[in-house]
Amino acid sequence: MRPLVVGLMLLAISGCSLLKSRYAMNDEVYAAKYAYGAEKTDFLGKAKQAFDARHVDGLGGMYLSGGAQYKTDAEKPFVGGELGIEGYPTSWTSARASLATYLGDDEGYLGLDTGFRLQTPTRIAPFVGLGMFHGASRTVELADWDGLDNDNDGLTDERGEEKSGVDGWLSAVYPEVGTHLWVNGNWRLTAYGRYFVTTEGRSRDDWLVGLQLAAFGR
Ligand SMILES: [Ca+2]
Ligand SMILES: [Ca+2]
């Protein structure tokens, strides 16, 4: 229920501000610059205030993001999620760091994801970036042969018994492409594609596409 309410609120907020040419008046820098809006007939002025996002210089915020690997075959795709922070040292660069997790069929990874992006200082902002993930891996495997009650259910080596363990490390680097949309002065929606190149070998390299929702402030 709560996600639905939040979603509807976001939709309402974005619906309102998407129709405004002075979309970012809730940001003090933008608001100061466009305190006096362009005249109704000043189409260039209107367009400028509708697309200008140079106010993002110096913003910092938090984000949630989630994505899934794009697979054409029947193999179960990786899904991933992040909770992180992102900041704009300049209006056209941003850097981010997050706690990230990636889950596969019988393995999972938890670690640190970092990256930076180059983007246009505009309301709709295409970007390119580079990121890295380093994390520990947890795998689940069959353990119906080792003489141990691995899952503590009182039965030893029952059919299908499994064990899990932190057994390794995954590192990945990825080029990233995507587009941001500034809903208003501090909410930003992002769609991205990342091409993961991991220490698991080239056969596991693949595109991961996802969405990111970020809230910024000064
Ligand atoms: Ca057992
Ligand atoms: Ca066992």
Tens digits of residue pLDDT in 193-207 = 999 898 878 877 889
Is the pLDDT confidence value at 75 over 70? no
Is the pLDDT confidence value at 152 over 80? yes
Whole-number Å distance, alpha carbon 166 to ligand 2 midpoint, is 17
Q: Count Cβ atoms below 10 Å from residue 108 Cβ, excluding itself.
A: 20
Looking at the chain, the whole-number percentage of residues with pLDDT higher than 90 is: 70
Is the pLDDT confidence value at 44 over 80? yes
> Which ligand sits closest to the CA of 148?
2
Is the pLDDT confidence value at 120 over 70? yes
Whole-number Å distance, alpha carbon 153 to ligand 1 midpoint, is 5
User: What is the pTM assigned to this prediction?
Assistant: 0.82
Whole-number Å distance, alpha carbon 137 to ligand 2 midpoint, is 21
Per-position b or e across 63-88, b if 16+ CB within 10 A of its CB: bebebebeeeeeeebbbbebebebeb
103 band by pLDDT with thresholds 50, 70 and 90: confident
Whole-number Å distance, alpha carbon 156 to ligand 2 midpoint, is 5
Among 106, 165, 168, 112, CA closest to 137: 168
Lowest mean pLDDT, pick from 13-22, 32-41, 74-83, 126-135: 13-22
Is the pLDDT confidence value at 10 over 70? no
Whole-number Å distance, alpha carbon 163 to ligand 2 midpoint, is 7
Q: What is the pLDDT of residue 11?
A: 66
Q: What is the pLDDT of residue 100?
A: 97
Q: What is the pLDDT of residue 16?
A: 62
Among 82, 94, 91, 85, CA closest to 27: 91
Whole-number Å distance, alpha carbon 143 to ligand 2 midpoint, is 4
Looking at the chain, the whole-number percentage of residues with pLDDT higher than 70 is: 90
Could you tell me which residues come within 8 angstroms of residue 53 by beta carbon, excluding any fewer than 6 positions away?
Answer: 24, 91, 121, 122, 123, 125, 182
State which residues have CB under 5 angstroms from ligand 1, the bound ion: 149, 151, 153, 155, 161
Whole-number Å distance, alpha carbon 105 to ligand 1 midpoint, is 21
26 band by pLDDT with thresholds 50, 70 and 90: very high
Q: Which domains does the chain have, with CATH numbers?
A: 57-217 (2.40.160.20)
Q: For 127-145, what is the mean pLDDT?
A: 92
**Exposure of 121 by Cβ count < 10 A (0-12 exposed, 13-18 middle, 19+ buried)?**
middle
Q: What is the pLDDT of residue 40?
A: 87
Take residue 114 and report the two structure tokens written for it.
């970092």
Is the pLDDT confidence value at 2 over 90? no
Compute the mean pLDDT over every residue in the chain, rounded to the nearest whole number: 90
Tally the C-alpha atoms within 13 A of residue 199's C-alpha that lie toward its C-beta.
12
